[in-house]
Structure 1
Amino acid sequence: MTNDRDRPTLPSDLDRDAREALARLEDRDADDLRAIAAYLEELAEWTESAADDSDERAETDPAASDRSGDAGDEIGDDHEYPKDVPDRATVTVKEIAGTTYYYYQWRDGDRIESKTVQRKNGSW
């Protein structure tokens, strides 16, 4: 058996939720941990790829630069998604010149799908 002093410690720069999630995995067997690690590596690559795609769109589409900044306003848990947008979609809310835009983005197989919905003066 290995010495507890050799046991890896949780990274200190993670937020509370990430640290709690990792702490729940500590008692998993080595095969589970390797499978989880492989998934997380793929997820990290996909996240970087999605960010790179967004950056490329912002470079070629001037209007996209308004969408590529911060996450925008928060939406509540009671937010209704359009019928053709899955509930797992990421939503970014931006207000530009008095008009509110909802940007939805989700993964469909190997493709990244997106939809923009415009809302003026509190109505759709």
Structure 2
Amino acid sequence: MTTNDRPRPPSALEQDVRERLAALESSDVETLRVASDYLEELAAWKVATAEASSKEGCDEQSEGEPDPDEYPADVPDRASVSVKEIAGTTYHYYQWRESDRIESKTVQR
């Protein structure tokens, strides 16, 4: 890379992110390297967190979170589901909005 080939923030980024990156252009080399190291670590952490969340999500679903295919016939797929265990019995509480009303249904599993 020559001095005439100065890098610019990628246009694929949102405007506010490009502006923040452009603000770093006046920083010294050491500051840029420290910021770069931090951003690499942050990206790795986000990937690890997302992977852990997706694994936990799979575990949660197997521990009683119903699959959308298992919703009762009269409950829409967009319904939110709360799973509660009361006195050893598991209940699934489905709740959704229809027009101005909130509908709900309780199913014992």
Q: Does 1:26 align with 2:63?
A: no
Contact 1:25 1:33 in 2 (8 A): yes
Percent identical pairs in the alignment equals 37
Q: Following the alignment from structure 1 to structure 2, what is the Cα–Cα distance between the partners of residues 11 and 17? A: 12
Partner of 2:53: 54
Deviation at 1:98, TM superposition (A): 2.9
**Aligned residues: CA RMSD:** 2.5
2:84 counterpart residue number:
none
- CA deviations 1:6-65 (Å, max 9, x no partner) are 211211110111101101100000000000000000000010011001110112211398
Aligned to 1:35: 34
Aligned equivalents of 2:54, 2:17: Cα separation in 1 = 26
1:25–1:48 distance in 2 versus 1, CA, 3 Å: same
Q: Give the TM-score of the pair, scaled to structure 1.
A: 0.49
How many residue pairs match? The answer is: 70
TM-score (norm 2): 0.56
- State the alpha-carbon separation in 1 of the partners of residues 37 and 11 from structure 2: 22
Structure 2, unmatched stretches of 5+, are 69-78, 81-93, 97-101, 103-109
Structure 1 runs, 4 residues or longer, greater than 4 Å off = none
Partner of 1:98: 95
Runs of 5+ unmatched residues, structure 1:
67-94, 100-120
